[in-house]
Amino acid sequence: MAHLLLLECRSVDRRPCRLYAVDRCSARPDDGRVADELEAAFGQVVRQLREAKGMSQEELSFACGRHRTYISLIERGKNSPSMRTLWMLAEALGVRPDELVRVTVDRLGA
């Protein structure tokens, strides 16, 4: 089974924050579904926040410096963003990166 890791860190402005990650190394081959569920849940959270702010995918992509099709892939759970992209998405959506991840984890019930 894949493990969900909690990473304690400090944000750029030195505030403590928490990040969650799936440890794929500990997963058996049939546990890829855990990562798929995580990516799908994260995408749903991004879409909800974007729509709540009244932003189009195009506007979000411009705000975080990524292509609109990449934002679409994230929202559909087809692509997993890097830490840098997660940070940029959070900033563009007006939330902290750890909040984006926490809401995703809460959605999964992990």
What pLDDT is stored for residue 27 in this prediction?
45
Domain 32-108 in CATH 1.10.1740.10? The answer is: no
What is the full DSSP assignment across 15-46?
A: -EEEEEEEEGGG--GGGHHHHHHHHHHHHHHH
* pTM score: 0.72
pLDDT digits (tens, 9 = 90+) for 7-42: 566 655 666 666 555 555 544 444 567 778 889 999
User: What is the rounded CA–CA span in Å between residue 47 and residue 33?
Assistant: 21
Closest by CA to 60, choosing from 37, 43, 41, 77, is 43
